[in-house]
Structure 1
Amino acid sequence: MPCSRFFATVGKVALAKTMSNYGWMGSLDEFLTCSQADWLETLKTNYQRLYHQNSAGTQQQAWQDCGEILRSQLSALTRKSWTLIFEYELPGEGGRRPDLVMLGFGHIVVFEFKQNTSASNADCDQVAAYARDLSEYHQASAQHPVSAVLIPTRSVKENAARNAVQILKPTQISTYLESLPAKQPEIDPTSWVNSDYAPLPTVIEAARRIFQQEPLPNIRRAQSAGIPEILEFLDRLVQQASEKKERHLVLITGVPGSGKTLVGLQFVYQTDHNALFLSGNRPLINVLQYALKSKAFVREIRNFYIQHEARRQSAPREQIIVFDEAQRAWDSDRMSEKYGIQSAAPGTVLRICERTPDWCVLVGLIGEGQTIHVGEEGGIEQWNQGLQISIESWQVHCSPEHAKFFDQPTHTNPLLNLTTSLRSHLAQYVQTWVSHVLAGEIEQARAIMPLMIAEGFDCYLTRDLEVAKIYCRDRYQSQPDKRYGLVASSRAKNLTQYGIRNDYLSTQRLNVGAWYVEPPDTETSCCMFDRVVTEFSCQGLELDLPILGWGDDLIWQNEDWKTTNRQKNVQNPRQLRLNSYRVLLTRGRDGFIVFIPPESKMDSTFDALESAGLQRLDSIRMTKPEL
């Protein structure tokens, strides 16, 4: 069948849909009988239709090399029931597209072709991420094995495997495909390319969708984490409070990236009552306001204090208040210093909410192990202290683990402690690994690392910052929706000489909204590596792959973490440093790279993190695959 006739066979309705998200699709026989020139012309035409620009000469040369290799190799296959889909675009992913997806015998095989003699870390991780995302977020792929294959087109080396990626020289493609066992059921190609695809939204994407009244994707992991049940619980509580004239305090705790902010945003904007989303996280507010071009979406807790307590004791018009990043609730000394208010933040918020007529539901979203500011060390106990001095009667709802902090009886609900990270794709073990590392439990951390790698979470270690930058640029080439950049502790003193300007003046001048939101080729984008965010500007936010500059404020000595920093009005400076690095290590969706300055005083820190399982970025461990 000629190439030009293939699209006419799928029907008018399917034609309109399928032509919009791939470059060429056909059976193995159709590919082999299609001329190279016609095949290339179809790819170029559909690329122009998809992206409204002509494909670059380098892209066309890559297609030509790929086509020639495949024609040579696939003609030798004895099992012919394969479908080839070139340049399939992952829906809603800003142009992310694997070179080739092959469907056959119940298998989904994702190919990336690189015009290199060897496989780089970035190339391997790129194709692994394609396979991971199809397996997890693509409905038609969920029940089938998804394999990742990297082809360095100029390689003559023996085949190898790195984690879940098969690295093959071109002459071994047919051998590999023939080795795959037949699975059932078969995959319908037209249904596959039109299948639903629901990737994890970033907090910025989620906020934008909620603000624009668009549905959020139906994420399996969000469902398994109990987020829909929490929202239903909150809705029932609002109905009860309004009918019975009650006041309820709900504390939702969770690990970094577990969806606390997502819960708060959805709750506020799906309720029929007046509701307010407050945050103690000014950078998060700045980023959301920048992305949404609106200041009505969220408000800073500071303005809430000033409006309703410091200047005049007025009642808010909203009877539903969500306090995000409630672990940033200051103690009484800090509140007095900043606002002249003689009580800790939790007591102040409770007092303000008691002025609302008849009823109120106050929700506090608390990140575990994320207290990083002076005045934030009081913890969840401050909410108990606030209740002790409250005038109105409050009913308290929290997880069973946190009931012990309250003197009064509580309503416990295990759903109110979110333990699964949604940020790090499938990497449920990332939080455990970080906790072991910061607790000095290096061997336990090392034991966790293979599980993280198997889930497609990429963690590296380097002493060459340029190597890390090159990795990021290579991995996310032609993926304009991806974000990567430099993060560092605010207290490290030895990073500026390496181009990581984490000093106070530099970070204060940063336009945080532009840093997270602007496209990679924009001067103000995080992807330019010109500016740095510290723990204060990344808490509650995320990157696809951060480069963490590990500084001299937290050094491994004598089998433990040491800090030499001294801060005024801080009860436990070491714990604040550990919490800061917990925040920094948990910002990545695809993984992270740790840069350790090449200084002798940092050698032991490098060794400890390598012993904890981080792989050197300049090395790649490969094993011979079983073909």
Structure 2
Amino acid sequence: MKRAYYSNNIQDFLIEPDSSILGELTANHSNRTLEELQINAWRKQITILKDQLRDFGGQIYFEFAIPRMGKRVDNIVIISSVAFIIEFKVGDGGYEKHAIEQVIDYTIDLKNFHEGSHKIRLIPILVATNATSVTEQNSQIVDHETAAKSNQNDLAETLKQYLNDDGESINIEYWENSIYKPTPTIVEAAQALYKGHNVKEITRSDSGTINLSKTAECINSAIDKSKSNGTKSICFVTGVPGAGKTLAGLNIAVERMKTDEDEHAVFLSGNGPLVDVLREALTRDEVLTAKENGEKLSKKQAAIKANAFIQNIHHFRDDNLLSDKAPIEKVVVFDEAQRAWTNHQVSSFMKRKKGVEDFNKSEPEFLIDVMNRHSDWCTIVCLIGGGQEINTGEAGLEEWVSSLKNHFPDWEIHYSNSVLESDNYLKSEDSRQWLVGNGISEIELHLAVSVRSFRSEQLSNFIHELLNVKIDNSQRIYSQIKKSYPIVLSRNLEKSKEWLRLKAKGTERIGLIGSSGARRLRPLGIDVKNEISAPSWFLNNSQDIRSSYFLEEVATEFDIQGLEIDWACVAWGGNFYMNNTDWKYQNFKGTKWQNINKEIDKEYLKNTYRVLLTRARQGMVIFVPESSDLDHTRPKEFYDRTYEYLKEIGIKEIE
């Protein structure tokens, strides 16, 4: 894939006619109705760069793709041992914060995800054409904390400040042909897929993508087979935390939407915050894209389309309670299907909230039953997270298999062998045996590589061993990941917040997260009962006090499951603490703590901390509070042993 609209060595660029360069840029631009504004901006860039690059040799690129972000950087100029990432702001205005953050984001993206950029010097430069000169530049831009600033007349001087003869010249051919291995957030991925990007363009081109592409092929094959044979099928997609199950589901829904609109493919999730965040992100992005293309689209119009594509599973359930007709959708993707409710939970809910007295089905049974109303074909795709049930009444994969076995034996079932090998998925031997005898095993339906934390695929393994109190294994894995994935400890909340702020560059998102049961974090200003607006917390910028950046509002496991941020402060509560050699599980009721004795409730609480400890893409600080002599609900034993355990594993305290 051609990454830049135009590239050339600098000396040839200087003598090439402007009209020829402009023609190539225009021909490669995907939007055929190019605005005059964009063409004029290119004209201005060409003029400035020809003037300022006269004394340099190297390579120049215009509109270089940054696929993870779905954006293009104005220019990359490679001279000797340095790659300059240049963003132009043509016209009035100075060196604005959002523009500086933008060019830093591009630079970090290349550093992290473009193989040829991992080990070379990258310098972000903001060229505000009419701004005043910046005489004092930071000649040592470390970790891209800031960008160099230049106006249209000072660019040559700015470049010279960062050039020296010490470094080895960049191999242009190697750099150009290096693979790009992005790992987008689920929000970025949803936006890119919705816009029409292929999953291969926005995800890593190593094992992670191969897995996702093969998973898509396998599911598409099952859907096409059902369609041509007039049969009903169900596919169970499993995977480690952060392996891209939601991304795989969104990809299938988008692909089927493109294949045949009459299939009315839909992505359903019971995760309210995820639905709200994705819908809002797609709506905002579509309005912005329309504006950039010179088109008018109201937020309301954009929202109608986004809301039809991503729906809350409970609304889908309730709509189909009112009718016994087959739904319009032929392909439904159920995200986090392990969280569908048991018979007892859904019957109790129906009686209390909906006034339905005789509802006697589990949620999996009812949802399959709804799709079974189709007289010809349909396909259900279930995305299943192992060990991810975090709430009372969540049924897990067991209930889906039981419903098929007892009520829908004619459905064709596709599953991965991984569900047989781990008790995270199926606890009952009967269910395993029945599945083996009645299903089709597909290796491609298990996503084994974590792509959330691009810095460490081993993170989910580390957290698994930590929570299972396997100290030797935890120490071994931690020693392997600590350089690429920073994890630190603190007993001081302000120091923890400061660590996050210093770590994040550009618009990398930071946030404070904690367990919904950690009620006694409230004296420290962390109130887990205070509900957040998930779209504001996850999507709004660093100037908005409701955003995660302000580190004021805490997101719980229910807010953040299925989503992620770059850097997290995980606030550890007294509801889950180390007691000698194992965990102690507690609930806070009224004015005191109560022991949790049921094994299933203990499992939910452990899974809560599993979710919290696997949300950060780049690193985290674990904040374990100090105890209080005045507060009987915060004694030393709730915190000190946990802190010592984490230190024993090897996690270091913040200085």
Q: TM-score, normalised on structure 2?
A: 0.68
Partner of 2:265: 275
Shift of 1:604: 1.2
Picking from 250, 255, 263, the partner of 1:265 is 250
- 1:488 is aligned to 2:514: yes
Partner of 2:113: 137
Partner of 2:274: 284
Shift of 1:212: 2.8
Partner of 2:607: 579
Picking from 393, 401, 405, the partner of 1:384 is 401
Paired letter, 1:335: V
Shift of 1:463: 1.2
Partner of 2:49: none
Paired letter, 1:138: H
Q: Deviations over 1:533-580 (max 9, x none)?
A: 110111000101111101111111112111123599965222111100
Picking from 227, 230, 250, the partner of 2:212 is 227
Partner of 2:367: 349
For 2:330 and 2:601, the matched residues in 1 are separated by: 38
What is the DSSP-based 3-state SS (H/G/I as helix, E as strand, rest coil) of the residue aligned with 2:246? helix
Q: Deviations over 1:244-290 (max 9, x none)?
A: 11111110111121111111111111112321211111110011122
Matched-pair contact (CA < 8 Å) for 1:317–1:356: no
What is the DSSP-based 3-state SS (H/G/I as helix, E as strand, rest coil) of the residue aligned with 2:558? helix
Partner of 2:441: 412
What is the DSSP-based 3-state SS (H/G/I as helix, E as strand, rest coil) of the residue aligned with 2:328? coil
- 1:242 is aligned to 2:227: yes
Partner of 1:337: 348
Shift of 1:491: 0.6
Matched-pair contact (CA < 8 Å) for 2:566–2:618: yes
Partner of 2:14: 9
Moved more, 258-267 or 287-296: 287-296
What is the DSSP-based 3-state SS (H/G/I as helix, E as strand, rest coil) of the residue aligned with 2:520? coil
For 2:57 and 2:475, the matched residues in 1 are separated by: 43
- 1:211 is aligned to 2:175: no
Paired letter, 2:412: Q
Distance 1:101 1:354, change over 3 A: same
Q: Deviations over 1:124-162 (max 9, x none)?
A: xxxx999985465226447xx55799xxx9xxxxxxx99
Picking from 440, 452, 467, the partner of 2:481 is 452
Partner of 1:305: 317
For 1:91 and 1:274, the matched residues in 2 are separated by: 28
What is the DSSP-based 3-state SS (H/G/I as helix, E as strand, rest coil) of the residue aligned with 2:586? coil
For 2:397 and 2:173, the matched residues in 1 are separated by: 53
Partner of 1:610: 647
Structure 2 counterparts to residues 362-441 of structure 1, below 5 A: 362-376=380-394, 378-391=395-408, 393-403=410-420, 405-406=431-432, 407=434, 408-441=437-470
Moved more, 194-203 or 247-256: 194-203
- 1:560 is aligned to 2:582: yes
For 2:19 and 2:238, the matched residues in 1 are separated by: 47
What is the DSSP-based 3-state SS (H/G/I as helix, E as strand, rest coil) of the residue aligned with 2:407? coil
Structure 2 counterparts to residues 68-217 of structure 1, below 5 A: 134=110, 137-138=113-114, 140-141=116-117, 145-146=119-120, 186-187=171-172, 192=176, 199-216=182-199, 217=201
> RCO higher in 1 or 2 (8 Å CA, sep ≥ 6)?
1
Matched-pair contact (CA < 8 Å) for 2:455–2:617: no
Q: TM-score, normalised on structure 1?
A: 0.71
Shift of 1:366: 0.7
Distance 1:17 1:134, change over 3 A: farther
Paired letter, 1:212: K
Partner of 1:588: 616
For 2:313 and 2:492, the matched residues in 1 are separated by: 40
What is the DSSP-based 3-state SS (H/G/I as helix, E as strand, rest coil) of the residue aligned with 1:589? strand
Unmatched tracts of structure 1, length 5 or more: 20-45, 51-79, 111-127, 154-160, 163-172, 619-627
Q: Deviations over 1:562-620 (max 9, x none)?
A: 112359996522211110000001111111111110223311111111222322222xx
- 1:318 is aligned to 2:329: yes
For 1:237 and 1:227, the matched residues in 2 are separated by: 15
For 2:245 and 2:391, the matched residues in 1 are separated by: 20
Distance 1:315 1:13, change over 3 A: same
What is the DSSP-based 3-state SS (H/G/I as helix, E as strand, rest coil) of the residue aligned with 1:606? helix
For 1:402 and 1:241, the matched residues in 2 are separated by: 23
Matched-pair contact (CA < 8 Å) for 1:548–1:585: yes
Q: Deviations over 1:490-515 (max 9, x none)?
A: 11122111121112xx12xx211111
For 1:581 and 1:14, the matched residues in 2 are separated by: 58
Matched-pair contact (CA < 8 Å) for 2:59–2:172: no
Matched-pair contact (CA < 8 Å) for 1:103–1:187: no
For 1:246 and 1:84, the matched residues in 2 are separated by: 55
Distance 1:108 1:578, change over 3 A: farther
Shift of 1:16: 7.3
For 2:192 and 2:105, the matched residues in 1 are separated by: 24
Matched-pair contact (CA < 8 Å) for 2:11–2:57: no
Paired letter, 1:497: P
CA RMSD of aligned residues (A): 4.5
- 1:464 is aligned to 2:492: yes
Shift of 1:188: 5.3
For 1:527 and 1:389, the matched residues in 2 are separated by: 49
For 2:23 and 2:83, the matched residues in 1 are separated by: 21
Matched-pair contact (CA < 8 Å) for 1:134–1:146: no
For 1:211 and 1:283, the matched residues in 2 are separated by: 19
Shift of 1:209: 2.1
For 1:299 and 1:445, the matched residues in 2 are separated by: 39
What is the DSSP-based 3-state SS (H/G/I as helix, E as strand, rest coil) of the residue aligned with 1:491? coil
Distance 1:519 1:438, change over 3 A: same
Partner of 1:166: none
Shift of 1:402: 2.0
Shift of 1:215: 4.1
For 1:614 and 1:593, the matched residues in 2 are separated by: 10
Residue correspondences, number: 515
Shift of 1:303: 1.2
Shift of 1:10: 7.8
For 1:435 and 1:299, the matched residues in 2 are separated by: 31
Distance 1:598 1:336, change over 3 A: same
Paired letter, 2:535: G
Distance 1:132 1:458, change over 3 A: farther
For 2:277 and 2:478, the matched residues in 1 are separated by: 32
What is the DSSP-based 3-state SS (H/G/I as helix, E as strand, rest coil) of the residue aligned with 2:309? coil
Paired letter, 2:585: T
Distance 1:139 1:9, change over 3 A: farther
Matched-pair contact (CA < 8 Å) for 1:350–1:390: no
Distance 1:361 1:94, change over 3 A: closer
